[in-house]
Amino acid sequence: MFRRLAAWIEKRRQIRQRWQQDARAMIVKHGHHAYYEAQRLAARCRAQGNGSEFWHWAKVASEVTRLSPDAEMDMKVVQAIADEEMR
């Protein structure tokens, strides 16, 4: 039982590291628009029916807001991005 728990914890740690790495890469590449780009990728994955990647990019967007104090987060822009990707 302990091995299963330890394996699960390690898997979650690796997933969390991937969010953080992708968020840092977004911040470097897109600057204060990194949140919008992560939301765009999340919306695209959602439109394609790829649930696991949707959750990944949604978590990346939340990491961007946690890591970058100057990330722009206008919900009207996010809604426009989602509408555009769903078309």
pLDDT digits (tens, 9 = 90+) for 18-36: 999 999 999 999 999 999 9
Q: What is the pTM of this model?
A: 0.85
41 falls in which pLDDT band (50, 70, 90)?
A: very high
- Nearest CA-CA partner of 44 in 29, 32, 57: 57
User: In sequence order, which residues have a C-beta less than 8 Å from that of residue 64 and are 6 or more positions away?
Assistant: 23, 26, 27, 34, 35, 38, 71
pLDDT tens sequence across 56-83: 999 999 999 999 988 888 889 988 988 8
